[in-house]
Structure formats: structure tokens, C-alpha cells
């Protein structure tokens, strides 16, 4: 069964959690009320 994760909040912690989950094969939906700015 494929795991799914919904992250509400695109701040530093939310993006970090979404990134870590995606690196571990979990399908991620990241949502925020504003534009999410990625810093690489």
C-alpha cells in the first residue's frame, strides 16, 4: 500500500518534512496559503 502525506504549512519545517518524506518514497501534498519559496 502506497503511503501518502499531507503537509499543511510551507515554512522551513513543512518543506523539510515534505522533502524528507518524498526522499523515503512517500507521496506528498504540500499546501500553504501563500506562495511557497524554495531555497536550494
Q: 27 is written with which cell numbers?
A: 507521496
N-to-C CA span, the chain: 31
Sign of CA dihedral 17, 9, 26, 38: negative
Question: Can you give the pLDDT at residue 34?
Answer: 83
* Residues 1-40: tens digit of each pLDDT: 889 999 999 888 999 999 999 999 999 999 998 877 766 5
CB 4 within 8 A of CB 26: yes
- From residue 22, how far is each of 11, 16, 36 by CA, in Å? 16, 10, 17
Global pTM value? 0.78
Amino acid at each position: 500500500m502506497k503511503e501518502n502525506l499531507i503537509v499543511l504549512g510551507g515554512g522551513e519545517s513543512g518543506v523539510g518534512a515534505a522533502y524528507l518524506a518524498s526522499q523515503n518514497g512517500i507521496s506528498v501534498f504540500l499546501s500553504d496559503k501563500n506562495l511557497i519559496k524554495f531555497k536550494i
